[in-house]
Amino acid sequence: MFFKFIMRRLLYVIPMLIITTLIVFSFILLIPGDPALALLGENATPEKIAQIHAQLGLDQPVIKQYLNWLGNAVQGDLGRSIFTGQPVEEAVFSRLGVTFQLVIVAMIFAIAGGLFFAITSIYFPNSWMDYVARFFGTLGTAIPNFWLGMILIIFFSLQLGWVPATGFTSITESPGAFLQGTILPAIALGATGMAQITRHLRSSLIEVMSADYVRTGFSKGINRWQAIMKHGLQNAMLPVVTTIGILFGNLLGATVVIETVFAIPGMGQLAVNSILQRDFTMLQGVVLVLIALIILINFITDIVYALLDPRIEY
């Protein structure tokens, strides 16, 4: 039953991906600037430009260009960087690991923090803990992430010297160095998400705690903690799961800024460099993989939703 549900959901993903490729391909054609000019410089002769166009396949009809690219992409070949000649998929996937690790740590920070603040705020209503939680809930959404990143660097790296300001070590190399390197960017990246989850979960919990079935729980003799954890949270999480799914996409996008602030060699940085260099094959690859990731997250969100809410029909 559940397996069938997952398979059916997966089938929905295929047309989404095809439409995505079409959008990615056509939007990048709209970016101003000729890659041949970017490669050759201002003094390029028309012959040279035509030669590069032919090399890159840019002289062919757009639809043919798209089908060629799509055909190769399906086989895992996203073309080569027009600057370095490096295969795009190779560059993208080496960077993807970095960004993925960073985003996962940021997500854990956001979800754990959000759960902690929302639950304490509900468990101790109108206490100082509640006010602290509400304060962070507002502050987190108001502070720009790059600014928070810089403040964190100034305070924890430059003044206190606890952690390095820039750079990244993969968790597979050294978990300790990985944590040192990701903690600040993950906080900067996840703070907004934590605030969003806190606010959303808190209001959702307030609503759920006055529901009739929670009163039924109290009439059984459970205490407040049991009421929140056993009866409130699972129901209150339902709308928040959607927020978390959307948040993942936002965080992937926000890495563009955060990776620049912390000089982390991830997808965000790759995207920025590709845009600056008009490296359109690389940019296509980066955007395609990012969108595919977001579609994957939506797929996982659907499944989590079905697991949390028995009323969803498989």
Question: Which listed range, 93-101, 186-194, 205-213, 275-283, lies at the site for another protein (CB under 8 A)?
Answer: 205-213
DSSP, collapsed to helix, strand or coil, labels residue 173 as coil
Our finding on whether 220 is near another protein (CB under 8 A) is yes
Among 225, 230, 296, 314, binds another protein (CB under 8 A): 230
Our finding on whether 311 is near another protein (CB under 8 A) is yes
Our finding on whether 216 is near another protein (CB under 8 A) is yes
Among 41, 45, 212, 276, binds another protein (CB under 8 A): 212
Question: Bridge partners of 87?
Answer: 80
* Token output for 175: 């978990």
One-letter amino acid for residue 263 of the chain? A
C-beta of 191 vs 236, nearer to another protein: 236
Our finding on whether 234 is near another protein (CB under 8 A) is yes
Around 299, how many Cα atoms within 13 Å sit in the side-chain half-sphere? 18
Query: CA-to-CA distance for 302 and 292, rounded, in angstroms?
Result: 15
Our finding on whether 2 is near another protein (CB under 8 A) is no
Distance (Å) of CA 8 to CA 1, 13, 17, 299, 302: 11, 9, 15, 11, 11
Shortest reach from residue 195's CB to another protein, in Å: 26
Among 182, 204, 235, 255, binds another protein (CB under 8 A): 235
Our finding on whether 304 is near another protein (CB under 8 A) is no
Our finding on whether 207 is near another protein (CB under 8 A) is no
For 187, list phi and psi in degrees, rounded to 5: -65, -45
Q: Tokens 């994957």 label which residue?
A: 296
Distance (Å) of CA 133 to CA 76, 140, 145, 201: 46, 10, 19, 12
Per CB under 8 A, residues contacting another protein are: 211-223, 230-231, 234-235, 308-311
